[in-house]
A and B are shown apart, each in its own frame.
Chain A
């Protein structure tokens, strides 16, 4: 037995030295690989690197971290939103708080620095289920985003507004994800009812595409309202808060609308504005009109949700008149379009 142990020990001692190559030779081979040859650098690349180094430092030194500050503020406000997501962070309609936060950082930049939005009458928005009804304009639907941002930034406690999207939106790749993760759903009556029963704030634009693509000459004139929202409000006994957005109707002044051409291209409309389609997709960028968002007193309606069209239309007309009056007053009292 001892002899066997000895031999094992001996083998252990001998094996490493025998297996490894000689250190001097191994080192001699290495230097070539240890220091990789420097890639040939062009002057422009060096200059760019230098600019990035210096510029980045300077940029950080002289500007406050706007995006970081907004991110922190939005995150802090979102913690007070009374929505309980499931164990994976999703609410029953596919909303995720991280996605909402990221979307809100972008819209807050627009809200504060591009449209320099002002909000009036936020105290009128009650807790619990509420239906926000607003005018719709501006070719690109930024009014919904701005109202949603206002509800998070200006309200106590903050609320996430649930949008009602068009029926074709779920078929568009990525757009459907942005829509559902940020808290919007397809605008079916069932989705709206379910959200209201879940104590959510739902926004609807009864003007729809008619409003979004109205011409500059028709600005601040409400188009025909759909009646679906009123039946839903009656069925769920939800208060309606009229909202008037002043400024959105000047952000993309359309002088003509080729609906036929738009239909050919699969779009709901084909507006001709000062910048679109002349500048291509860049022309979709709205003008920096100043947004003023007015929230009105909540309106409560009672009655049979399955009543005749004429009865429902009378109730809808009261909402239309309220919003129109708020719009007229907002336009009359504002200092200017862009300031």
Chain B
């Protein structure tokens, strides 16, 4: 599966003249301009000029960022979305519906609107919800999104997975690529749904080759707008860690992840991709950079303590999550870089500053 073959340039996507930029370019030669004009008139009746993007979970931090980024791209994209929460201050032209991926209404929207691209960001990432609900929304929800996309002629589905699906295991090599097995559920059953969701999506790659599925697995994301698990962990003030362990953790700025999602849409890349930021630092360095203090405790103390606090609802992460404070889970992002030309714009220091502020 050579990534280069799958890259579609926006202008060659079979929409005729899709972008305003391309139109402007053709206006230079009069004959070409006239041809482009007729061409555009003819195609406009058949297909919309711009790509229509449906974002699930549009009111979340990442959804809002992707929406704004898409709208900034010279009017190439029309954005609509669904979410369970309302987004009051959404930009003009963005239509959103209050529903969720499990509802019938969601299928109606896909059928009626016929989006070109679905960006699937909706999901439950916190552990306060019971595992059944997490599974229903994350796994069955993703499965439904893909099903409807297939049924209603959606060209591309972008699924946001995460680096955690690989799991933090002592025998992990550094910089795992996309071919590594998703091991997280071996030691961290609370996160099995995320690995399963990823597998549902990657199964579509060979089951349905006529739809472009892009599965993005970003490393730990930090930012002002989003509430990531690692962000909440690092900002706890006194951060419990496991004494004698200090694994390398890679970080990515929320704006860089947004850029990655938009690039995945623009290039129409197909497959699973690790999205990697500017680099890795040990956990304790990250904790201090964010403005907290690491609190290393011996493992026989920290595990039972966290198990109890989690059960009583006083600590947001299950005890198994401590594996990520013990062992490396670092990813190789060269495949996505080669396929899209993605390069993170924010350095590590800038990424930490975004959460500290």
Are A and B part of the same complex?
Answer: yes
Q: Which chain A residues have a beta carbon within 8 Å of chain B's beta carbons?
A: 86-88, 90, 92-94, 167-168, 170-177, 180, 185-186, 188, 190-191, 194
Collect the chain B residues with CB atoms within 8 Å of residue A170's CB.
Answer: 170-171, 327-328
Give the docked Cα–Cα distance between A90 and B328 (Å).
14
Judging by beta carbons under 8 Å apart, are B244 and A171 in contact? Answer: no
Collect the chain B residues with CB atoms within 8 Å of residue A175's CB.
Answer: 244
* Residue in B242, B244, B348 whose beta carbon sits within 8 Å of that of A87 in the complex: B348
Q: Which of B52-60, B203-211, B277-285 contacts A (4 or more CB under 8 A)?
A: B277-285
Give the docked Cα–Cα distance between A23 and B130 (Å).
69
Judging by beta carbons under 8 Å apart, are A191 and B348 in contact? Answer: no
Judging by beta carbons under 8 Å apart, are B244 and A167 in contact? Answer: no
Judging by beta carbons under 8 Å apart, are A90 and B282 in contact? Answer: yes
Judging by beta carbons under 8 Å apart, are B299 and A94 in contact? Answer: no
Q: List 21 A-B contacts (CB under 8 A).
A: A86-B281, A87-B347, A87-B348, A88-B281, A90-B248, A90-B282, A90-B285, A92-B279, A92-B280, A94-B248, A170-B170, A170-B327, A171-B170, A173-B244, A173-B299, A177-B246, A180-B248, A185-B174, A186-B173, A188-B173, A190-B176
The main secondary structure of chain B at its interface with chain A is loop
Q: B245 on the interface (CB 8 Å rule)?
A: yes
Judging by beta carbons under 8 Å apart, are A176 and B279 in contact? Answer: no
* Residue in A94, A176, A190 whose beta carbon sits within 8 Å of that of B173 in the complex: A190
Judging by beta carbons under 8 Å apart, are A176 and B281 in contact? Answer: no
Report the nearest B residue to A176, measured CB to CB.
B245
* Contact mask for chain B residues 267-297; partner A; CB cutoff 8 A; 1 contact, 0 none: 0000000000011111001000000000000
**A92-B175, A194-B175 as given contacts; A173 in contact with B348, CB under 8 Å:** no
Q: Which of B279-337 contact A (CB under 8 A)?
A: 279-282, 285, 299, 327-328
Judging by beta carbons under 8 Å apart, are A90 and B280 in contact? Answer: yes
* Contact mask for chain B residues 242-269; partner A; CB cutoff 8 A; 1 contact, 0 none: 1111101000000000000000000000
Judging by beta carbons under 8 Å apart, are A167 and B174 in contact? Answer: no
Report the nearest B residue to A175, measured CB to CB.
B244
Give the docked Cα–Cα distance between A174 and B244 (Å).
4
Collect the chain B residues with CB atoms within 8 Å of residue A167's CB.
Answer: 170-171
Q: B338 on the interface (CB 8 Å rule)?
A: no
**Chain B nearest CB: distance from A97 CB in Å?**
14
Q: B349 on the interface (CB 8 Å rule)?
A: yes
Judging by beta carbons under 8 Å apart, are A86 and B174 in contact? Answer: no
Give the docked Cα–Cα distance between A213 and B244 (Å).
27
Judging by beta carbons under 8 Å apart, are B282 and A94 in contact? Answer: yes
Judging by beta carbons under 8 Å apart, are A191 and B280 in contact? Answer: no
Collect the chain A residues with CB atoms within 8 Å of residue B327's CB.
Answer: 170
Collect the chain A residues with CB atoms within 8 Å of residue B246's CB.
Answer: 177
Collect the chain B residues with CB atoms within 8 Å of residue A174's CB.
Answer: 244
